[in-house]
Every structure is written in C-alpha cells, then in structure tokens.
Structure 1
C-alpha cells in the first residue's frame, strides 16, 4: 500500500469511528459552511465570498457530515512558495466535541494534501488552550516553529472577545503520521505553574537541566468567561515564559494530557 493509499484508508477509518463522512464541499454548500463558522466564532473567520473564491481556485474547502447535516468545516490555502498548505480554520459543532470529528477532518486534509504532492501543513492556534495543544502535539505530532504575539491583531466584537490574540505557528510533517503519544511532565521542573490561587507563577529552572515544562490551565475557556483578568494574567505569563524559553534555546517536544508543554534543550 502506498503512502497516499494508507493516508486515505486512515482518514476513512477515522471518519467511520467518528460517525461522519468527510469530503470536499460543493460550491452550493459554501453558504452553509460560512454560516456554521460564523456561528462558532461570532466574527466570521472566513466570509462567504472568500470561501467561494478559495473553492473556485482549488484550495482545501471540506466539511464533515452526519447524514445530510454539515457538522464541521475546514479551510486551507495552498502555499506555492514552499509547496505546503496553510490550514486557516477548522470548526466543529460543540455538541460533537470530543467525538473524533476534528481528527477525522485533519486526516482527510492530510490525505488530500498527499494526493497532490503536499507534505507539510501549517496552522496557528492559541497556546493557552490546553485541549488544542494536546490534540496538535500529542495526537498529530506537530512541531512548533514560532510564537507570534497578537497574530490577528485586537478584536472587541463577536461572541468570543479576546484579550491578546497570541498564536503559535506549528508544522505537521504529513510523511510521518502517528497515533496518540502518552506523555507526562510531572517529574520535570516547571518554568510556569499555577499557585495556590490558580494564578500564574513564573519560576526559574535549575541550571543545566536538559528538560523542563510549562503548565497552562486545563480550562482556559471557563476562565475566559468567569475571570477575564486572570485569563489576561495567564496570557502575559505564557507569552513571556515561552518566548524567553524559545529564545534561550529550548524547543517544545510535546504536550502532556495534564496540561504541560514539554521542553528540551540540547546540551
């Protein structure tokens, strides 16, 4: 079985396990897709005219369906300079979160890319969201390329207002897909952790240690709603700690299920 055939089979199996069908959208379905994304984000991450233009020019515009109902959307832009794909947005209806729909979509995207000779997908995500970090590092095996402060600028509208829109840019090597990796950072010294009141506490790693970790809240979405000031404190602390660590030669090697970025530094 070729790599492409294997990727197609893996995507098909993931979709079956999640109870969905994942496929490219038709032009007529773009309106439903744009409405679904607008409902999830409040401020549409991609409007209908742009979605139609991307569909028309052969970029990745796909959806997950339960029967005839669209339940998830993913949009990617082919980047000719490095023959890669920038995955702009992936959204799944909240009631299907945790059912494997996101994994099914990403594996379909991987197969779509490999069929076209594309071997790398890049995207950004909020490094404060532990669930996304685990999915990206633990499930897919991405590599962190850089931390970007206020990647999308500031926003005050929509149903999901942000206090700092920092993102990390990650790359997914499609030639080495892997399954979930069970890792724990419990034994590692922490560069950032929560104190007894749940507030971020920046720490200094012992000298000459080759590995360390950065802990983030398990449910930053809840903090966003209940205590915006605390969320901002975590945003600033993670921004300062992670950017300093990367500048000092640390690299992210994974993310644990208990909410820790795992770091290593070459001796």
Structure 2
C-alpha cells in the first residue's frame, strides 16, 4: 500500500488543485468539473473534502456531502492520478472517508459507479463490502473524457460502515442470468428464481468502449435491462468475482 498522507483540505488553493486533478483523472472537459467554489461551500456546511499527498504533491482526492438521511454521506468523487493507481491510494481514501464519517456520527456511505467497469465493481463490492440495490439509466446525461460514448448509467453502492466484513463468495456453480458469446452480449433470462444468481459483464469495459463503441453500447443496453429487472424483483448485487471472467453475485432478500 502506498505511504501517501491523507488529510482534510482547507484552502482555496487546494480546492483549485482538486479541479486540476479531475481533469487529469477522468480526462473531462472543463465544463464537467466540480468547481472549487462549490467544493469549498460544501465542505463548509458538513461536507468532506480530503486530499492524498505524496510529499507536497496532491495525487488523489475525495469529496462527499450530506444526504437527506442524517446517517449517510454521499461520496460524489474519489479520484487518483493514473500513475498512482494500483498502489492502494484509492483504498486509503475510502478508509479515510470511513473514519471521517464515524467521527461525525455517520454510519453509512453511498456513491455511484458505472456497473460495467469491473475494477470498480470488485473494489466496491468485494473489497469494501458495499451492496447495490438501485440502478439509474443515463444518470448524468452525456459525459466527456473516459465516460464518453455510452449513456451514463450508474449503480448506487451503499456501504454500511459498522457491518462486519463480508465473506468471499464462490460464484462458479451459480445459474447465470446472461451468457455472453466471447466479448458480445447474447441475451439474458428474465424468469430465474434461485436465491443466488450471477451476471456476467465485460472483462474490460473501458478498453471495449475505446475499441468498439457499438459493442459497448450493446452491453450497456442489455445490462441495463437485466439488472433493473432483477433489482426490481428484490435481488441485490452483493458480491463480485473475476474468476473465469467478471461476474456479479445477485442475491435475493439480503
């Protein structure tokens, strides 16, 4: 794990650095950046804004704000520079957020993520122990940078901060909602009733989006239909496996 230092951000200069990090992390256009004025105002009124520093250099950040539920923080953005990914900085930021929440009387954290990006799904569900019960089609509308080219569908990850660690799940023998053919989606089954199911997603959706936008869109539309259907029937995404490909665990009645 990286030895970077995480701390709260308190100055306008540091909030300005977060603007620049957003551009570097996601390749966004400037119109999609959360501006420093809003970052400062939110942190003044109960939000959290923290940075990860390697020496004097800010290499990552986390930004969250209050929700209608007084026990919940919405973690809107956690970003890490590309050269620091895989070094544990993202996990450090999430654990810092967790401690920040508990120190402020909050026991739950939530955030949205692209449900087709396997690395994020694995981090959120397998490493942190979050659960997904809600899905929004095209939540943010058209986006720029690394998210351009497909509707901005998002899943809502909910992390109960006081819950015990979740045991690893073996998905090998579970019935699959869908059965891709190579890298292509090939339909899904709507009437499965087992208490535990699995749902396959691409091995690398980001690479697929760059190489074949039409195929990425087909994945988006099929997964949207299938996941909304099963979440609407009382299932939740409670686990993730990268064995033999990327697959979610769908579990009913957790």
- When normalised by structure 2's length, the TM-score is 0.90
8 Å Cα contact 1:34-1:51 kept in structure 2:
no
Aligned length: 247
Structure 1 residues 208 and 143, CA, compared in 2 at 3 Å: closer, same or farther?
closer
Name the SS for the 1:191 alignment partner: coil
Is the contact made by 2:43 and 2:65 (CA closer than 8 Å) also made in structure 1? Answer: no
Q: Which residue of 2 aligns with 1:56?
A: 44
Matched, 1:140 2:124: no
Gap regions ≥5 residues in structure 2: none
SS of structure 2 residue aligned to 1:192: coil
Q: Deviations over 1:174-219 (max 9, x none)?
A: 112537x5433222111123203x1102233785533210010121
1:240-251 pair list within 5 angstroms: 240-251=225-236
Separation in 1 of the partners of 2:41 and 2:107? 24
| Separation (CA, whole Å) in 1 of partners of 2:235 and 2:68 | 30
Cα offset, 1:94, TM superposition: 0.8
Residue in structure 1 matching 2:173, options 175, 187, 203: 187
Structure 1: 4+ residue segments shifted above 6 A: none
SS in structure 2 at match of 1:186:
coil
Aligned mates of 2:211, 2:108 — CA distance in 1: 38
Aligned to 2:4: 20
- Equivalent in 69, 91, 100 of residue 103 of structure 1: 91
- Hey, what does 1:178 align to over in structure 2? 165
CA contact (8 A) 1:205 1:212 kept: no
Matched ranges for 1:82-231 at <5 A: 82-155=70-143, 157-158=144-145, 160-176=147-163, 178=165, 181-196=167-182, 198-204=183-189, 208-231=193-216
Offset of residue 154 of structure 1: 2.3
CA contact (8 A) 1:22 1:104 kept: yes
Question: Structure 2: how far apart are the matches of 1:100 and 1:193?
Answer: 33
Structure 1: unaligned runs, 5 residues or longer: 1-16
SS of aligned partner of 2:226: helix
Between stretches 208-217 and 117-126, larger displacement belongs to 208-217
RMSD between aligned residues: 1.9
CA distance in 2, matches of 1:93, 1:48: 18
| CA shift in 2, pair 1:45/1:193, >3 Å | farther
Tell whether the 8 Å contact from 1:76 to 1:85 is kept in structure 2 after alignment. Answer: yes
In structure 1, what is the Cα distance between the partners aligned to 2:81 and 2:193? 45
Partner Cα distance (1:65, 1:113) in 2: 20
The corresponding residue for 2:23 is 38
Q: Distance in 1 between matches of 2:146 and 2:132?
A: 28
Shift in alpha-carbon separation, 1:208–1:123, aligned structure 2, 3 A: closer
SS at structure 2 position matched to 1:245:
helix
| 8 A Cα contact 1:182 1:257, kept in partner | no
